[in-house]
Amino acid sequence: MNALALLVPLALGLGLLALLFFAWTLRDGQYEDPDGAAARILFDDNQETPPCPTSDSR
Amino acid sequence: MNALPARLEAEAPRVSAAACAHCGAPVAPGAGRFCCTGCEGAAALISGLGLDAFYLRREGATADLRPVPLPPVDFAARAVPLRDGKEQRLELMVAGLTCGACVWLVEQALAAEPEVMRARASLSARRLTVVWRGPADRAEALAGIVARLGFRVAPWSAACLRAAEDAEEKALIRALGLAAFGASNVMMLSVAVWVGTDMGDATRQLMHWLAALIAMPVVLVAGMPFYRSAYAALRAGRVNMDMAVSLGVLATTAMSLSETLRDGPYTWFDGATALLALLLAGRVLDRAARRRARQACAELIALQSAEVTQLAPDGTSRRLGAEQVRPGARLLIATGERLSLDGVLEEGEALLDTAATTGESLPRAFPAGEALPAGAVNLGAAFVQRVTAAAAEGSLAAVSRLLERAEQARGRYVSIADRAARIYVPVAHAVALATFLGWWLGVGMPWQVALVPAVAALIVTCPCGLAIAVPAVQVVAVGALFRRGVLVGSPTALERLAACDVAVLDKTGTLTTGHPELLPDPARPAGALEAAAALAASSRHPLARALVAACPLPVRAAGEVVEVLGAGLMRGVERLGSAGFCGAESAGEAGPSLWYRADAASAPVVFRFADPLRPDARQAIEELRRLGLRVELLSGDTPAAVAWAAASLGIDEWRAGASPADKAARIEELRAQGRRPLMLGDGINDAAALALAHASASPAGSTDLAQAAADLVLRAEGLSGLPAAIRTARRAQAAARQNIAFSLTYNVVAVPMAVLGFVTPLLAAVVMASSSMVVILNALRTGRSA
């Protein structure tokens, strides 16, 4: 019973945390451009740094 | 020595030797790396910015990337000032964004401008947001950079917004997140109850109370999309699948709550929440698949909506949206501009391309005072048009209203899922009610106990498999077609497409490319083509453009060319135009032709043209026949042109000179005969027929009205996408039927068990999940290559 008193609130708390995190990602607009987000992680340069075309030697 | 073979080769139609280094369009041999100066400029701009990596990264070159001038829109007026006007923000719709490399290129090219603070492009919505420091006037220059790279831009319009920012979809995603959270946590508690056979009563009750605490709000909030749809259907006096879902979920929750209060052995909260999560996932995927198609259509419409130039009585001009223009206003129509409003020609003569409005493949000269149809394109010099009808009363609006009516008629089309629901839902509910009454009054159990098997019957009949049977197939089929370049807009389009038995095809722009091409002629004297092309370069007439396009060498436009409307071009003694204009005797040409005469003494040279069939037209028609469709050709063009196309495609049934009303009448006639016509067309003149047909499709490059009217837009592959779409639709239909049949069979086994009270929550969960899996796996078969 003692284990339950700890584990059940813990499990529910974690689940609730995940739900809040999901609500934040939704409000942040992270589901608005799924295709773009998929492509964006492959850019090997950021907006800040100047692009380096020779680095793409593939 | 080299010049002659090179020319012969270039004059043979469709010789694709090299590809343009920027847009990938075929380039005549020896003409350099680029197909046009625009592409050359774009490549120079890209390499100047140090962004050449774009060419290595992109996924295949598309001909869409050929730079075109900015549309005549006041971009500066669309800029939104931020921070007291120190910064400006502009939202643009960018067509041609097809891969990550395009996004990268556009963002980097704009970021290279010193005043640009932020540039972010969305690949899904094709939306570009630019923020810069400085005056709003920079808007045009910044949009110009994107245009020079080869992307077509237009201001972000309300239509784009509607397509992209789907509040309903967002609500569905939120509901899905909530339901998934509820289902996983309730399942955790339920599994503890199922496996914890040695669990004490107090612990079990605690588990049930916790489950109720989580499930109650989740069921109430996450189920809203279903409750709303069920309520709407009920108010309209109909029954739909969502009613069964709503009743099943709500009854299960209520019964579980009563079991919790009574301290019963089982609750069913896990089933209710898992069911919601699964069904919501299906909804979200279904919507996302169709959102892409809707967005692609909104994009095309945004590109075509331009502003007009109104002339004030004092001679000044201002630009405004077409919807603000009143009858009687005078508009200046520039060369190449598309008429947005109906009107009459005030003075002089105009040369208009009416292919989109009537289906005629060649432009026609309009005398002063004649009515000019909205949708036609000005190929001659600029002229003044007096507006006769405001946008809301004009011919385009009339077509739009017709489309709305047809849309409503299609909304009444009952899909196979709803037909199944109409029979299934009342039966399922009657069984549950009979179970309850049987145990309560018949056997004499307390009503709370009698409720358990009744609700168990509701849960197992709650059409998880059935509700997901058709959407799962839809998602897979629509996604597979999207990858092949076929956009599916309407939810019932595939179902209607699968049932079509007659294909009615338009000619100009549908079976043909809509752009004439020069036919090879070995008897043509050397140098004549170059000389004629130099004259033709100054005209926008389609035949003149075809002549320039066929010229293997770069064409230098000759100066001081005078265009005689409806006759031809001349410079000094040189003439290019109709037979009469050049003093030649017409030999009764089969297709359109141009004549060229260097001077009065030399013999006239003829250039013959044909509006070439799309390369895949013949194969597509053969495949349509093989699929069991009768094929007819219905065109607004001249009998000679239609007969030629029909003969070369082997179509026996054809009709020429058909007006938009004739086309619509033919579709009505076929429907009256009990046939289900599939209409394929691209023009405004086809829109009515497209809307009336059982199912309809538009090829790439169609007018916006035709695309809006059609169920399918064939984007990438041209006509061969249509037979593929029919095959996919038929496979999808078969899979949907199998799924429904499977769900019903499973109910025949499960319902008696539930009625007799043998079904525990664990058994219900297993059976429900397994039936959904079977249905989804069966749906996945639809997506395999067409």
DSSP state letters, B393-405: TSHHHHHHHHHHH
B337-391, pLDDT tens digit by residue? 778 788 888 877 888 887 777 767 777 788 888 888 887 888 777 788 888 887 7
CA dist B135 → B4, B84, B88, B130 (Å): 56, 12, 7, 13
Contact at CB, A42 and B181, closer than 8 angstroms:
no
In chain B, how long is the greatest CA-to-CA distance?
A: 114
What local confidence, expressed as pLDDT, does residue B678 receive? Answer: 92
Contact at CB, B53 and A40, closer than 8 angstroms:
no
Residue B119 to chain A, least CA–CA distance (Å): 9
Residue A3 to chain B, least CA–CA distance (Å): 12
Map tokens 């001909």 to a residue: B63
Interface of B with A in 123-162 (CB under 8 A): 123-125
The angle subtended at Cα B363 by Cα B360 and Cα B369, nearest 5°, is: 105
**Chain A residues touching residue B483 (CB < 8 angstroms):** none
Q: How far apart are CA B268 and CA B189, in angstroms?
A: 11
Q: Are B600 and B587 in contact (CB under 8 A)?
A: no
* Residue B468: both structure tokens together: 């997901």
Q: Is residue B679, in this structure, part of any structural domain at all? A: yes
Q: Measured between CB atoms, which of A18, A33, A56 is closest to B56?
A: A56
B315, B298: one domain: no
CA dist B627 → B505, B724, B727 (Å): 16, 10, 8
Contact at CB, A35 and B124, closer than 8 angstroms:
yes
What local confidence, expressed as pLDDT, does residue B643 receive? Answer: 86
Q: Are B530 and B551 in contact (CB under 8 A)?
A: yes
Instruction: Write the CATH number for B27.
Output: 3.30.70.100
Which pairing describes strands B307-311 and B330-333: parallel, antiparallel, or unpaired? antiparallel
Q: Is residue B51, in this structure, part of any structural domain at all? A: yes
The alpha carbon of residue B407 and the mean position of all alpha carbons in its chain are separated, in whole angstroms, by 15
Q: Give B2's DSSP letter.
A: -
DSSP state letters, chain A: -HHHHHHHHHHHHHHHHHHHHHHHHHHTTTTS-HHHHHHHTT--S-SSSPP-GGG---
Q: How far apart are CA B242 and CA B520, in angstroms?
A: 63
CA dist B702 → B290, B443, B513, B529, B574 (Å): 20, 68, 11, 31, 37
B340 class by beta-carbon count within 10 Å (0-12 exposed, 13-18 middle, 19+ buried): buried
Q: Is residue B442, in this structure, part of any structural domain at all? A: no
CA dist B414 → B239, B244, B448 (Å): 11, 17, 38
**Chain B residues touching residue A53 (CB < 8 angstroms):** 50-53
Angle of helix B241-262 versus helix B224-235 axis, rounded to 10: 120
* Residue B235: both structure tokens together: 């108010």
B562, B593: one domain: yes
B335, B347: one domain: yes
Q: How far apart are CA B565 and CA B365, in angstroms?
A: 7
Q: Name which of B343, B334, B340, B351 is nearest B386 in CA terms.
A: B343
Instruction: Write the CATH number for B350.
Output: 2.70.150.10
Q: Is residue B201, in this structure, part of any structural domain at all? A: yes
Return the residue in B49, B56, B123, B204 with the most chain A beta carbons within 10 A, the one to mutate for interface testing.
B123
**Chain B residues touching residue A23 (CB < 8 angstroms):** 174, 177
Q: Measured between CB atoms, which of B104, B185, B206 is closest to A15?
A: B185
Domain boundary among B610, B627, B649: B610
Domain boundary among B610, B625, B659: B610
Contact at CB, A32 and B124, closer than 8 angstroms:
yes
Overall number of domains in chain B: 5
| B247: containing domain | 168-304
CA dist B382 → B135, B317, B349, B363, B390 (Å): 32, 14, 10, 16, 21
Q: Name which of B476, B470, B473 is nearest B416 in CA terms.
A: B470
Domain boundary among B101, B123, B156: B156
Residue of B nearest to A1 (CA): B203
**Chain B residues touching residue A50 (CB < 8 angstroms):** 50
The backbone torsions φ and ψ at residue B333, rounded to the nearest 5 degrees and listed phi first, read -105, 110
* Residue B710: both structure tokens together: 């059609």
For chain B, what percentages of helix, strand and coil (3-state, to nearest 5) are there? 50, 15, 30
What local confidence, expressed as pLDDT, does residue A53 receive? Answer: 39
Q: Is residue B560, in this structure, part of any structural domain at all? A: yes
**Chain A residues touching residue B181 (CB < 8 angstroms):** 15-16, 18-19, 22
Q: Are B702 and B357 in contact (CB under 8 A)?
A: no
Residue A42 to chain B, least CA–CA distance (Å): 8
Residue A10 to chain B, least CA–CA distance (Å): 11
**Chain A residues touching residue B174 (CB < 8 angstroms):** 23, 26
Q: Name which of B676, B725, B686, B733 is nearest B707 in CA terms.
A: B686
What local confidence, expressed as pLDDT, does residue B20 receive? Answer: 76
B616-653, pLDDT tens digit by residue? 888 888 999 999 889 998 888 888 888 888 888 888 88
Q: Is the pLDDT of residue A54 over 60?
A: no
Q: Which residues, including other chains, have CB under 8 Å from residue B683's CB and lie 6 or more apart?
A: B355, B356, B357, B358, B359, B506, B508, B509, B636, B702, B703, B706
Residue B108 to chain A, least CA–CA distance (Å): 7
Return the residue in A17, A27, A28, A31 with the most chain B beta carbons within 10 A, the one to mutate for interface testing.
A31
* Residue A48: both structure tokens together: 């800040």
Q: Are B434 and B461 in contact (CB under 8 A)?
A: no
Q: Are B657 and B641 in contact (CB under 8 A)?
A: no
The alpha carbon of residue B413 and the mean position of all alpha carbons in its chain are separated, in whole angstroms, by 20
B293, B320: one domain: no
B288, B376: one domain: no
* Residue B365: both structure tokens together: 């000269």
What local confidence, expressed as pLDDT, does residue B22 receive? Answer: 78
B209, B191: one domain: yes
Q: Is the pLDDT of residue A14 over 80?
A: yes
B352, B282: one domain: no
B646, B510: one domain: yes
ipTM entry: 0.73
Q: Please state the three-class secondary structure of B328-386 as a single string.
A: CCEEEECCCCECCCCEEECCCEEEEECHHHHCCCCCEEEECCCEECCCCEECCCCEEEE
Residue B213 to chain A, least CA–CA distance (Å): 11
Instruction: Write the CATH number for B625.
Output: 3.40.50.1000
Q: Are A39 and B100 in contact (CB under 8 A)?
A: yes
**Chain A residues touching residue B107 (CB < 8 angstroms):** 47
Query: B291 at the A interface (CB within 8 A)?
Result: no
Contact at CB, B100 and A40, closer than 8 angstroms:
yes
Q: Is residue B766, in this structure, part of any structural domain at all? A: no
What local confidence, expressed as pLDDT, does residue B215 receive? Answer: 92
Interface of B with A in 187-216 (CB under 8 A): 188-189, 203, 206, 210, 214
Contact at CB, B123 and A36, closer than 8 angstroms:
yes
Q: Is residue B48, in this structure, part of any structural domain at all? A: yes
B177, B229: one domain: yes
The alpha carbon of residue A1 and the mean position of all alpha carbons in its chain are separated, in whole angstroms, by 36
What local confidence, expressed as pLDDT, does residue A20 receive? Answer: 92
Q: Is residue B441, in this structure, part of any structural domain at all? A: no
B639, B695: one domain: yes
What local confidence, expressed as pLDDT, does residue A47 receive? Answer: 46
The alpha carbon of residue B678 and the mean position of all alpha carbons in its chain are separated, in whole angstroms, by 17
Contact at CB, A36 and B203, closer than 8 angstroms:
no
CA dist B454 → B256, B269, B425, B434, B441 (Å): 12, 16, 15, 8, 13
Low-confidence ranges of chain B (pLDDT < 50): 1-16, 786
- Strands, E, within B16-86: which ranges? 18-19, 26-27, 80-82
What local confidence, expressed as pLDDT, does residue B154 receive? Answer: 82
Which pairing describes strands B695-699 and B677-680: parallel, antiparallel, or unpaired? parallel
Residue of A nearest to B108 (CA): A47
CA dist B196 → B33, B191, B204, B207, B209 (Å): 74, 8, 9, 11, 16
Instruction: Write the CATH number for B529.
Output: 3.40.1110.10
Q: How far apart are CA B6 and CA B606, in angstroms?
A: 20
Q: Name which of B30, B56, B52 is nearest B43 in CA terms.
A: B52
Q: How far apart are CA B322 and CA B306, in angstroms?
A: 8
Q: Name which of B693, B711, B691 is nearest B401 in CA terms.
A: B691
Q: Are B212 and B257 in contact (CB under 8 A)?
A: yes
Q: Are B268 and B761 in contact (CB under 8 A)?
A: yes
**Chain B residues touching residue A16 (CB < 8 angstroms):** 181
Interface of A with B in 22-51 (CB under 8 A): 22-23, 26, 31-36, 38-40, 42-43, 47, 50-51
B505, B642: one domain: yes
**Chain B residues touching residue A58 (CB < 8 angstroms):** 56
Residue B217 to chain A, least CA–CA distance (Å): 13
> Which positions of B are catalytic?
506
B118, B187: one domain: no
Q: Which residues, including other chains, have CB under 8 Å from residue B522's CB and lie 6 or more apart?
A: B8
For residue B155, give the 3-state DSSP assignment.
strand
What local confidence, expressed as pLDDT, does residue B600 receive? Answer: 73
